[in-house]
Structure 1
């Protein structure tokens, strides 16, 4: 799978982000029967200051967040609670999924608050963002139930806990 990672914050080096991203992307795509070897994804590993600028520029929300995603094309389902159409390779045989940005500061703070290792939380967030690239969303209750259910299944296959279970 062509995965381009740009690390702007050296604190990411301690987490082996390449390995985490590869596992999260591969398991998420495989779970949805998408050939991961054909998919192209770019990942920006940054800090809260950078992601706040991106969040303001693209979502009109001038605050930090944990992860953002930009699908290469609109893939959302036409009806709430339905799965998006399966992705198809382009003329070059590849599937351009899109871009992800993830903030170290917010991820580390959320992991600490949840009492889990940062690597587990980052794996969850990359899987979450990958689902967004595939057209899944959580803007309404039906879509959220579908997307969260997929995340629970995917993370379970990786031996990780349900991120939506109340402690």
Structure 2
């Protein structure tokens, strides 16, 4: 596990690669730092100094077990988020939570969507982080808000709208 502090927001990022053909940890750290900083700023999220988020990079088998255990869905998914501490006065931390990614699903989706793997992983990192801050997409209005935030955050990073040309998907995870 690698622990890195992203100085501007003071968020500690723990990264563990469990399984899958992921890029090296240096590339994953850089991607995570960029995505998390953009999401915190773009969604105007407040965190305690030295708040921590953990990212686990695994494979379909690993995420399927978690998805079955925690969501009663016995299938792999692209990303899962597990929120940490409840906010106090809309300030989150010290434990923001855990985000888990499945390599095969992320790679397959990127290929099917015709987008770069790193752009898709950046999107899923932003998406997963927003879930840690109580954003959801169970209802249509929640999905619209979450998707518009993701689109704006990614645009700030020079990444095209991941939802362009696709119907709104409430309960999309």
TM above 0.5: yes
Q: Is the 8 A contact 1:9 1:46 kept in 2?
A: yes
State the SS of the aligned residue for 1:166: coil
How does the TM-score come out when normalised to structure 2? 0.82
Q: Is the 8 A contact 2:20 2:102 kept in 1?
A: no
| Cα deviation digits, residues 129-167 of structure 1 (max 9, x gap) | 000000000000010000000000000000000000117
CA–CA separation in structure 1 for the residues paired with 2:72 and 2:85 = 20
Q: Which residue of 2 aligns with 1:71?
A: 83
| Cα deviation digits, residues 1-50 of structure 1 (max 9, x gap) | 21101101251135821111111111001112335664310010000000
| Cα deviation digits, residues 75-109 of structure 1 (max 9, x gap) | 6xxxxxxxxx96325xxxx5321000001100000
State the SS of the aligned residue for 1:107: helix
CA RMSD of aligned residues (A): 2.0
Q: Which residue of 2 aligns with 1:82?
A: none
Gaps of 5+ in 2: 1-10, 167-173
Of residues 53, 63, 66, the one that matches 1:51 is: 63
Q: Is the 8 A contact 1:74 1:135 kept in 2?
A: no
Higher relative contact order (CA 8 A, sep 6+): 1
Gaps of 5+ in 1: 76-84
CA–CA separation in structure 2 for the residues paired with 1:118 and 1:86 = 37
State the SS of the aligned residue for 2:165: coil
State the SS of the aligned residue for 2:23: helix
4+ residue runs of structure 1 moved beyond 2 angstroms?
Answer: 32-39
How does the TM-score come out when normalised to structure 1? 0.85
Q: Which residue of 1 aligns with 2:29?
A: 18
Q: Greater strand share, 1 or 2?
A: 2
CA–CA separation in structure 2 for the residues paired with 1:122 and 1:133 = 17
